Chains A and B, each alone.
Chain A
Amino acid sequence: MTESPDVLDCRGQRCPLPVIALARRVPTVPVGAVVRVLADDPAAANDIPAWCRLRGQEFLGAVEADDATGFDVRRVI
């Protein structure tokens, strides 16, 4: 996958908050960088890839962690 991505800890946040946090963070990282959203809301698994599709960013996949899932997004535009 990727080396030490920028991690956004959104554990305990309900949708759409993790998606909003992601949308705020992505423009602040360089093109090509990866942001990992750590979320435990069940809607995140659906809405983060959907956001990537709507915004033209690349969804790299999900990584299971102890108490949450990490969703990796690469800024491409």
Chain B
Amino acid sequence: MPLLLGSGVPGRYRRVVAAQTYFDAAAGLPPHPVARQAMLAAAEDGWADPAKLYGQGRRARQLLDAAREAVAEQLGVRADEIGFCASGTAAAQAGMQGVRVARQRVGATVAHSAIEHSSVLYAAGQGPTAPVPVDRLGRVDTEAFAAAVRAPGVAVAALISASHEVGTVQPVAAVAEACAGAGVPLLVDAAQSVGRMPVPGGWSLLSASARKWGGPAGVGVLAVRKGTRWLPPWPGAEPGSLDQPGALNLPAVVGAAAALRAVCAAAPDQAARLSALVARIRDQVAATVPDVEIVGDPVGRLPHLVTFSCLYVDGEALLHALDRAGFAVSSGSSCTASTLRPSHVLEAMGVLSHGNVRVSLHPDTTEEEVDRFLDVLPGLVGRLREEAGVVGL
């Protein structure tokens, strides 16, 4: 089965994912055509060490500087507040660890929402933590967050901009204000929002991942606002640089920046279009699939992502059935996780975790694809319930 039908010619996403309808944009997008073009050009032109003073090095430095400017502009910060890392995970972890090191006299506790991405939870778990609960819709309790950051010994707070699993947008502005009042820096993991919707300001650090916005894998962005107490958590960092030490994958960084500019320009239109498709999925699934729990905030949500859980259905079986029907989706059910634990996000919300499906759309998702999904889903769920003997339970 050829997965790569494209010829490198800028084209539609569907060329790359022709075998299936790709509904897992929250995990990563196929590279935007502009990213591929920019990467190819930068591979010719930007292979040298940007720190060197000869001609090829200066050319690489120009490309790197331009990429940094472009990313900074889209995030609304200064270029010297932007660092590049090997992944979104590395960015989030470096952001958190760097504040923990710099503020160790204050304490080491990380206050965070219960629904952070696992990369943030792993980093937080290197020391004491203060998790803050969310409500049934997956929205963090602002009052509880404010109380958590006022407690003694908090080095840094972490809040995801919007849930990668259920789409609920978090009250970043209110939490940022509470953090500022308590003198605690706030790290916002904006991986799902950047390139799709604006992220409110007021944060001290922000992390993002290029593959989530249509850039290549292998590029993370860490923004650190001026005045934030942050020390590079890795050995041998260049003084004053926010970049992860070691040779950056410059063509990938250039591709990431080009893609970000392109997706941000199209973001308002895409958000309106995809949000309407997500609304259609939310309504139709609730209407056509019995005993289904549509998860997450119906209004304050990401434009491209919807999650639902089907009572009595095995999540893994549903994933495979959808795969055979030509749809690539994700799931938070325990049977689909290597740990065999249900998603901590669904747990924190107290919603059904089995039979869970996450559908996330991308700029090339068509109405026809969504309609075809909505056509086949009720039959697939019904068949799995029949096989399990749970119809009418």
Contacts and interface: CB of A to CB of B under 8 A. Distances in A.
Given A23-B390, A24-B393, A42-B342, A54 B352 contact: yes
Majority-rule SS of A interface residues = helix
Interface in B349-370: 350-355
B350 to A, nearest CB: 6
Contacts of A45: 347
B311 interface: yes
Most buried by B among A14, A15, A41: A15
A47 B353 contact: yes
B352 A14 contact: no
A65 B351 CA distance: 24
A70 to B, nearest CB: 19
A15 B350 contact: no
A43 B350 contact: no
A15 B291 contact: no
A46 interface: yes
Contacts, number: 61
B341 interface: yes
Interface in B334-393: 334-335, 340-342, 346-347, 350-355, 388, 390, 393
Interface size on B, as a range, is 20 to 34
B393 A15 contact: no
B149 to A, nearest CB: 27
A49 B340 CA distance: 19
Contacts of B313: 16
Given A19-B312, A46-B350, A54-B311, A41 B334 contact: yes
A14 B334 CA distance: 9
Contacts of B312: 16, 19-20, 23
B353 A46 contact: yes
Given A46-B347, A51-B311, A54-B311, A15 B353 contact: yes
Interface in A21-60: 23-24, 41-43, 45-47, 49-51, 53-54
B354 A15 contact: yes
A2 B188 CA distance: 46
B350 A50 contact: yes
A41 B393 CA distance: 21
Most buried by A among B350, B353, B354: B354
Given A14-B334, A20-B312, A42-B342, A51 B352 contact: yes
Interface in B176-202: none
Interface string B226-244: 0000000000000000000
Given A23-B312, A24-B393, A16 B340 contact: no
B314 interface: yes
A14 B317 CA distance: 13
Interface of B: 291, 293, 311-314, 333-335, 340-342, 346-347, 350-355, 388, 390, 393
26 contacts: A14-B334, A15-B335, A15-B353, A15-B354, A16-B311, A16-B312, A19-B312, A19-B354, A20-B312, A23-B312, A43-B341, A43-B353, A43-B354, A46-B342, A46-B347, A46-B350, A46-B353, A47-B342, A47-B352, A47-B353, A47-B354, A50-B351, A50-B353, A51-B311, A53-B350, A54-B311
A-B residue pairs, 7 tightest by C-beta: A16-B354, A43-B342, A50-B352, A43-B334, A23-B393, A15-B354, A46-B347
